[in-house]
Structure 1
Amino acid sequence: MIARDDAELLLAMDGASRNSGGWDKLLELLCTQMQAGRATLYDADQVLGCSDGSRPARPDCFGALRAGRVYGAEELADRAGPFDPDFSRGDSRVIAAQAPPLWLWLHAGRGAFRATDSARVSSLMPHLAQAVRIGQERSSLAQALDAANALQWRAGLGWIGPDGPDTTAARLLAEGGCPRPSVAPGELRSLCDGLSAYGLPDGRIMLRAARDLPSPDRIAAALGLTLSEARLARALGQGQSLPDASAALGLTRETGRSYAKQIYAKTGVSGQNGLVRLLWCSAVAFG
């Protein structure tokens, strides 16, 4: 049977793992329950949260504490360095975790913690470490999803499935002012604003938006070309003929041919068709 106070803390931990701003509220609740003046949670790099909203620096002596053991004020005072707080003022309880590295510091300006307080902190720390670990994993997954969505948007590709459009498809439809299409498997349909839809065999619909190649400076950096060569490579990749691309860029035919030879030699392709494949079928197209 979980005590009511512990249940409230566990629910607060779950909320904090979903929202990094929830650690302050969790620690505020812990302070209230344990009659502490301040509770601070650190990871290896930063203050994850503090009950009063401040961000006190992590004392240097915390780095030498053994994980899983609760340290009292006297032990902390013995270990404190010259730049650490004066642990003899008030009472403190500190416990560390190893995976991930964490430190929980409870401080009471008045009164003293009891042995039962130390036992409770010890029992809660594994759950706290798990909540932090889950929060870190969620954050990493969210960042990976954001990166994938950004690449998908740059490619102009979105999918509509049984559950509706994905993030990119919804954005493509909204920006183009297009209604959600109904496309049979194998059917290709032009929608609006350069957007097309193709019915996949599994019943999903793939949306494709017209996209330009990245800017010349990005192409130059990616392929080791000069900026002038990259401008011509981009024009050729967009489908212009060599004479038209040269004229549009203010190059003579001879200079255009010379640049093209340099582009093909540097990129290892045999001609314009190979350059088009390289630009559109590699990471270069994603910018």
Structure 2
Amino acid sequence: MHLQLDGGRSHVWQHGQIVPPDAALMPQMRFDRVYSQSDLPGLENRRLPLRALKCDAGPAGYAVLAVQRAGKEFRAVDGLQLSDLSPHLGQALSVWRDLMRERAQATLDRQIASDLGGGWVILGLAGNVQDMAPQVAILLAELPGVTLGPNGWIEFADPGIALDFRHAVTMAQEGREPPVPVTLSRDPSAEMILSSRILAEEQVLVGLIRHLRQGRSLSVERVAAHFDISRSEARLAILLCDGLSLQDAAAELGWTIETARSGSKRIFARMGISGQPAILRRVLTSAVWLG
């Protein structure tokens, strides 16, 4: 089957050895007509029995389904059965196209959530992990003092955090609102809120996690281009965004405090803001983290 999409893209699925109709000649074929090897454009001289059907795939484009035999010729009923397939095949391909679009959009949503340090984890009512977003699995593996046991239990090296987590699980089990936050880690910063929800007709506990990404995870070039500042100014903005004071940032960069003050003033002017807190707001609320 050859699926021709609007915009020139195509998909081909094939089983066995078959010489399909020439893709360049497919636009000449009429919809819902069953072609044989003797009247198919470009294949009039082929000897192996073949039947081909072109159907409308809706906004996605069109599809050509070809069936070939190595031996005896097709019967009339075979062509009728192929013709009866046309409306169902077109509908199936439209559904397939919609599903591909939904999956692509879901991938974008997951990427944005990952870029912003967000994710989810699904727990049973007892508090054991049943499933989690891929980025959360990576995060839990990297958080110091946090491990995922073989039976799905989240274990904490810090007894205080372990106690807070069990308290949050108990509150979620009872349906308490608002959800109780749990600090999973302070360095790097990661926090979870737990609530009871119905997912796919099942009562579960859903943990929503926010992990604050460090500005140093961004490239200097990207920050400089995004805010239209120099590379040295971008390095300073990144350190300030990560919570360093102007004096500590200057020390890390090997600058004098006067050089750091001068750089911060240039950043203020380029961003149209004033004050170091404004730099944090401008960077943390920007789209520089995405993609």
Normalization by structure 1: what TM-score?
0.70
- The answer to whether the aligner puts 1:219 opposite 2:220 as a matched pair is no
Q: Deviations along 1:100-137, whole A, 9 cap, x unmatched?
A: 31111223344322322221111112222222222232
Q: Deviations over 1:15-70 (max 9, x none)?
A: xxxxxxxxxxxxxxxxxxxxxxxxx4343433421111779684311112122222
- Kindly state the Cα deviation for residue 138 of structure 1 after the two structures are TM-superposed: 2.3
Retained in 2: the 8 A contact 1:89–1:109? no
Aligned to 2:193: 198
Identify the range of structure 1 (214-223 vs 108-117) with the bigger mean alpha-carbon deviation.
108-117
Report the count of equivalent residues: 242
**Deviation of residue 235 (structure 1)?**
1.1
CA, structure 1 residues 51+204, in 2 after alignment: closer, same or farther (shift >3 Å)?
closer
Would the aligned equivalents of 2:268 and 2:279 in 1 still touch at CA under 8 Å?
A: yes
Partner SS, residue 68 of structure 1? coil
Q: Could you state the TM-score of these two structures normalised by the residue count of structure 2?
A: 0.69
Identity of aligned residues (%): 29
Q: Distance in 1 between matches of 2:48 and 2:245?
A: 80
Matching of residue 95 in structure 1 with residue 53 in structure 2: yes
Q: Which of the numbers 106, 119, 123 marks the counterpart of 2:84?
A: 123
Q: What is the distance in 1 between the residues matched to 2:20 and 2:52?
A: 14
Counterpart residue number, 1:281 = 285
2:158 alignment counterpart: none
Instruction: Give the gaps of 5 or more residues in structure 2.
Output: 125-129, 155-164, 172-177, 198-204
> CA offset at residue 72 of structure 1?
2.4
Task: Report if the CA contact (8 A) 1:70-1:93 is conserved.
Answer: yes
Which structure has greater helix proportion? Answer: 1
User: Which region of structure 1 is more displaced relative to structure 2, 228-237 or 197-206?
Assistant: 197-206
Looking at structure 1, the residues matched to 37 and 207 of structure 2 have their Cα atoms a distance apart, in angstroms, of: 64
CA distance in 2, matches of 1:53, 1:257: 72
SS of corresponding position for 2:66: strand
Taking a change above 3 Å as real, the CA distance of residues 53 and 137 of structure 1, as seen in their structure-2 partners, is farther
- Where does residue 113 of structure 1 map in the other structure? 74
Name the structure 1 match of 2:255.
Answer: 251
**Residue 33 of structure 2 corresponds to which residue in structure 1?**
69
Deviation sequence 1:229-248 (CA, Å, 0-9, x none)? 21111111112222322332
**How has the CA–CA distance of structure 1 residues 73 and 282 changed in structure 2, closer, same or farther, with 3 Å as cutoff?**
same
Residue 66 to residue 169, structure 1, CA distance change in 2 (3 Å): same
1:46 aligns with 2:10: yes
Structure 1, unaligned stretches of length 5 or more?
1-39
Root-mean-square deviation (Å):
3.1
Alpha-carbon distance change, 54 to 171 in structure 1, aligned in 2, over 3 angstroms: farther
**Which amino acid in the other structure matches residue 122 of structure 1?**
S
- Within 2, Cα distance between the matches of 1:58 and 1:133? 23
Deviates more, 1:206-215 or 1:160-169: 160-169
**Among 127, 130, 133, which residue is 2:94 paired with?**
133
Could you say what secondary structure the match of 1:113 adopts? coil
- SS for the counterpart of 1:104 is strand
Cα pair 1:49 1:55 within 8 Å, conserved: no
State the partner residue of 1:30.
none
